Amino acid sequence: MARRFEGGRLVIASHNTDKVREIADLLAPYGTDAVSAGALNLPEPEETGATFAENAIIKARAAAQESRLPALADDSGLCVHALDGRPGIYSARWAVNGDFGPAMEKVHTMLEAHADKSAHFMCALALCWPAGQCEVFEGRIDGVVVWPPRGDLGFGYDPIFRPEGRTITFGETPPEKKHAVSHRARAFAKLIGACFR
């Protein structure tokens, strides 16, 4: 049985302001006093895991131990099937100084020779306590890579990812609609059901 979050302050173990805002929006209905690792000047640990879940645990556990507060970390990325799942856990590292334009261009260039444009976004959430206990929840959404990039409402690879059954990319999707269907939303639904209700 998952450990329950009893309320109060929760560190969002990220220095990515877009990701922090999206997570804070998803947590807002649960009265959580969310603060980012960046706002607390916590160091960013090296992501040495081989999976999204392992990297999420590394980040959440480090933030929880440094802050002495429960911490929630997200590790997520775009997995392109014809590229053997790349960029995958390296999704953020393909960006140049936080600019995902070159990363999207790299995906497009590598994918040009392939007929299969299918991909999925994956998210792993880790909720860890200072003593080291962690709960992990994963979410996935399938879709296709499109080119050229469309929309400026999302972040990361959102402008080149069109979810299955949709005609617009995540980059063209208003945040409240993306929050209802995204990989992060699916992982959050599991987290909330297990730890916040």
- Pairing state of beta strands 9-12 and 71-80? parallel
| Torsion angle, alpha carbons of 162, 167, 173, 178, to 10 | -70
CA 25, CA 83: separation in Å to the nearest integer? 32
Q: Is 33 a residue of the active site?
A: no
- Out of 25, 74, 75, 116, pick the active-site residue: 75
CA 118, CA 90: separation in Å to the nearest integer? 18
Answer whether 19's CB lies under 8 Å from 158's CB: no
CA nearest to 179, candidates 18, 45, 6: 18
- Pairing state of beta strands 71-80 and 118-128? antiparallel
Answer whether 39's CB lies under 8 Å from 98's CB: no
CA 173, CA 154: separation in Å to the nearest integer? 7
- Catalogue the active-site residues: 75
